[in-house]
Amino acid sequence: MLKKPKTKSSIRKIWLPKTLAYILIEWKKSQEEIKGFLGDEYQDYNLVVALANGRPCENRVLEKSFLKLKQDAELPNVVFHSLRHSSTTYKLET
């Protein structure tokens, strides 16, 4: 379910590495191309991660992709939700 944050303090700015910011810019461009191609068929929820038609993904789709990424990159077996601390951890290490 898509909903607004409970409080204003729930809306936060996070720090991203420049390379990730560039990746997200390119990702957004590709989404815009798909929107243009699909026209009215694209359901725009203004999501970063969405299905090809703009609709939200189910958790299992993200979890499956995340598991493959961890295995391919030989990363530790952490749960997806633990990534919410990544920005702070990265800032503390640099």
Q: Which residues neighbour 56 within 8 Å (Cβ) at sequence distance 6 or greater?
A: 2, 45, 47, 50
In tens, the pLDDT along 71-87 reads 999 988 888 877 777 66
Confidence band of 1 (pLDDT split at 50, 70, 90) = low
Residue count (the chain): 94
pLDDT given at position 62: 87
pLDDT given at position 89: 66
Residue type, 62: L
pTM listed for this prediction: 0.66
In tens, the pLDDT along 12-56 reads 887 788 999 999 999 999 999 999 999 999 999 989 989 999 999
Query: Could you tell me the two tokens for 66?
Result: 């995340």
What residue ranges do the domains of the chain occupy?
A: 15-72
Structural contact between residues 30 and 37, judged by C-beta atoms closer than 8 angstroms: no
For residues 72 and 79, give the distance between their C-alpha atoms in angstroms, rounded to a whole number: 16
